[in-house]
């Protein structure tokens, strides 16, 4: 019997790896200098620690250390990428059109919509049943005025991997900047900014077993040298792109977390893929009327998203009280909205409401997966028994 409750919500956040925490602690206690205080030993010690972390983050992306700008997290990185690039490109009179996709995170969609209110034009591309955009769709959306394309590397709800390398190549050919929100992909699947032709890339530590409150934006320095308008004015830290005293302990943790991912990702992703497939097969073999949301193959190894016909995701969440998962409805209001991601993929409101996201991670065990399979089957059967006249034949298979 695994110890309860079981955490299967690693797309929301991950536990800080104990090795990461251990590396951080001295920077809260003895080594507390300000990384900008280069005139004394405490400051230089902190600056060196930040530089090492910058190299560790860069190495995971195939980037150079000086191309990494530390931020408070991916929400800030996405805002800096979109607004910073759009404002600068407008100043340089390059154009005013942005392209993104319907299933992006709000940290991309909302800055894009704000830029639209400021007078930029915006194309939001639809996705297919698996949540994918194609390079042909992006190509068809480009105009003479397009300055930035922003397409995520992997989706946070359904784990769909986007063809970022193809999109990057297209943008390079057309001389258009390419940003990717790679929060869910970095450290989980191989991603190299050179190979993928990415000019701006957002990442955050808390999705890769690092601490919350720190992230980074990769900003390409060569071919082309990307220029951004900063969001914040102040002390001119991070080469003027992000003023504010650097959170050294968090940055140290972020660096170690990236280093661990770089070394362990290949093995870890194989293990997670096996456990994810065990969970999927175990639930789908044990229950009728379950469909997979998102692609069967081109998805994050640790992500599983299922809809259970005839069951409300919120009710299932409540019933599965020892299992920390997420549902496809925003449970913040009295009248929950179905997930806009699942709706954009063509799911009915009913199936979107009936969805559950399972996020497996580094600390997920086989025993926990076995327990989760039994618990989900039991709870779905119990909820369906409350509504016995419904028949749960396979609802359209959307494995795409
Ligand atoms: C795809 C994606 N982008 C951006 C974010 C925001 O990241 P942060 O929590 O670091 O602001 C998240 C986290 O939920 C995410 O999954």
Question: What does the pLDDT average to over 57-65?
Answer: 98
32: pLDDT strictly greater than 70: yes
- The DSSP H or E segment spanning 355 is strand 355-359
Whether the Cβ atoms of residue 254 and residue 210 lie closer than 8 Å to each other: yes
**In the numeric block, which tokens belong to residue 26?**
């001295």
Model pLDDT, residue 397:
46
93-106 pLDDT tens trace: 999 999 999 999 99
Instruction: Report the residue among 12, 106, 107, 361 best suited for mutation to probe ligand 1: largest number of ligand atoms under 8 A from its CB.
Output: 107
Residues 6 or more apart whose Cβ sits within 8 Å of residue 39:
none
27: pLDDT strictly greater than 50: yes
Model pLDDT, residue 399:
40
Sign of CA dihedral 204, 208, 213, 214: negative
Alpha helices for the chain (secondary structure H): 18-24, 41-61, 74-91, 106-117, 135-141, 164-174, 248-286, 313-319, 340-344, 349-353, 366-385
Question: What does the pLDDT average to over 351-374?
Answer: 97
What is the distance in angstroms between the CA of the first residue and the CA of the last residue of the chain? 36
Is the pLDDT higher at 329 or at 108?
108
Ligand 1 centre distance from Cα of residue 212 (Å) = 11
Model pLDDT, residue 330:
56
Ligand 1 centre distance from Cα of residue 183 (Å) = 6
Whether the Cβ atoms of residue 295 and residue 128 lie closer than 8 Å to each other: no
- CA nearest 186: which of 103, 68, 297, 296? 68
- Say which range, 87-101, 276-290, 325-339, 359-373, has the weakest mean pLDDT: 325-339
Ligand 1 atom 7 nearest Cα? 74
CATH 3.40.640.10 segments of the chain:
18-260
Whether the Cβ atoms of residue 134 and residue 99 lie closer than 8 Å to each other: no
Ligand 1 centre distance from Cα of residue 157 (Å) = 11
Question: What does the pLDDT average to over 210-235?
Answer: 97
Question: In a 3-state reduction of DSSP, which class is residue 312?
Answer: coil
Whether the Cβ atoms of residue 398 and residue 306 lie closer than 8 Å to each other: no
Model pLDDT, residue 47:
98
218: pLDDT strictly greater than 80: yes
* Ligand 1 touching residue 357 (CB < 6 A): no
Name the β-bridge partners of 305: 357
**In the numeric block, which tokens belong to residue 114?**
């704000």
Question: What does the pLDDT average to over 342-353?
Answer: 95
What phi, psi does 263 have (nearest 5°)?
-85, -30
* Ligand 1 touching residue 300 (CB < 6 A): no
Model pLDDT, residue 388:
78
Task: Give how far Cα 255 sits from Cα of 76, 96, 315, 346, Å.
Answer: 18, 36, 40, 39
Whether the Cβ atoms of residue 64 and residue 221 lie closer than 8 Å to each other: yes
323-338 pLDDT tens trace: 999 987 655 445 578 9
Instruction: Please tell me the class of the 6-12+265-385 domain.
Output: alpha beta
Question: What does the pLDDT average to over 300-325?
Answer: 95
188: pLDDT strictly greater than 50: yes
What phi, psi does 101 have (nearest 5°)?
-130, 160
Question: What does the pLDDT average to over 22-28?
Answer: 98
What is the architecture, at CATH level 2, of domain 18-260?
Answer: 3-Layer(aba) Sandwich (3.40)
Q: Residue 378 CB: number of other CB atoms within 10 A? A: 13
pTM of the predicted structure, to 2 decimals: 0.96
195: pLDDT strictly greater than 90: yes
* Ligand 1 touching residue 181 (CB < 6 A): yes
**What share of the chain in percent tops pLDDT 90?**
93
CATH 3.90.1150.10 segments of the chain:
6-12+265-385
Model pLDDT, residue 337:
85
Whether the Cβ atoms of residue 49 and residue 248 lie closer than 8 Å to each other: yes
* Ligand 1 touching residue 156 (CB < 6 A): yes
Model pLDDT, residue 400:
36
* Ligand 1 touching residue 73 (CB < 6 A): yes
Active-site residue numbers? Answer: 331
Structure confidence at residue 301 as a pLDDT band (50, 70, 90): very high
Model pLDDT, residue 336:
72
Model pLDDT, residue 390:
74
232: pLDDT strictly greater than 70: yes
43-59 pLDDT tens trace: 999 999 999 999 999 99
Ligand 1 atom 16 nearest Cα? 156
Whether the Cβ atoms of residue 189 and residue 212 lie closer than 8 Å to each other: no
Task: Give how far Cα 237 sits from Cα of 66, 230, 250, 251, 341, Å.
Answer: 13, 11, 16, 14, 36
In which region does residue 260 sit, left (phi positive, over 0), alpha (psi from -120 to 50) or beta (all else)? alpha
Question: What does the pLDDT average to over 21-29?
Answer: 98
Ligand 1 centre distance from Cα of residue 38 (Å) = 33
């Amino acid at each position: 019997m695994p110890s309860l409750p079981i955490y299967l919500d690693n797309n929301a956040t991950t536990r800080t790896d104990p090795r990461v925490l251990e590396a951080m602690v001295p920077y809260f206690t003895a080594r507390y200098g300000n990384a900008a205080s280069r005139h004394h030993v405490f400051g230089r010690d902190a600056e060196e620690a930040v530089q090492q972390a910058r190299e560790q983050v860069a190495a995971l992306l195939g980037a150079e250390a000086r191309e990494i700008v530390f931020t408070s997290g991916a929400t800030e990185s996405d805002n800096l990428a979109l607004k910073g690039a759009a404002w600068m490109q407008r100043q340089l009179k390059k154009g005013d059109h942005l392209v993104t996709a319907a299933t992006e995170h709000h940290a991309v969609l909302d800055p894009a919509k704000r830029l639209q209110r400021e007078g930029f034009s915006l194309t939001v591309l639809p996705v297919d049943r698996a949540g994918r955009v194609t390079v042909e769709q992006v190509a068809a959306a480009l105009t003479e005025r397009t300055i930035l394309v922003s397409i995520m590397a992997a989706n946070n709800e359904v784990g769909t991997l986007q063809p970022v390398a193809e999109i990057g190549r297209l943008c390079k050919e057309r001389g258009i900047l390419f940003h990717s929100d790679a929060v869910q992909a970095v450290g989980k699947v191989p991603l190299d900014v050179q190979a993928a032709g990415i000019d701006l890339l957002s990442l955050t530590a808390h999705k890769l077993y690092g601490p919350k409150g720190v992230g980074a934006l990769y900003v390409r320095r060569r071919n082309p040298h990307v220029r951004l308008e900063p969001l914040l004015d102040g002390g001119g830290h991070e080469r003027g792109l992000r003023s504010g005293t650097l959170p050294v302990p968090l940055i140290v943790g972020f660096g170690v977390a990236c280093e661990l991912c770089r070394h362990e990702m290949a093995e870890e992703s194989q293990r997670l893929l096996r456990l994810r497939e065990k969970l999927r097969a175990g639930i789908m073999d044990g229950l009728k009327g379950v469909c997979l949301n998102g692609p069967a193959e081109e998805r994050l190894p640790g992500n599983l998203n299922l809809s259970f016909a005839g069951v409300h995701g919120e009710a299932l969440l409540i019933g599965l009280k020892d299992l920390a998962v997420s549902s496809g409805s925003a449970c913040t209001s009295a009248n929950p909205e179905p997930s806009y991601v699942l709706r954009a993929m063509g799911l009915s409101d009913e199936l979107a409401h009936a969805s559950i996201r399972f996020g497996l991670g580094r600390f997920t065990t086989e025993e926990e997966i076995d327990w989760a399979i039994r618990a989900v089957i039991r709870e779905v059967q119990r909820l369906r028994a409350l509504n016995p006249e419904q028949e749960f034949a396979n609802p359209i298979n959307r494995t795409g």
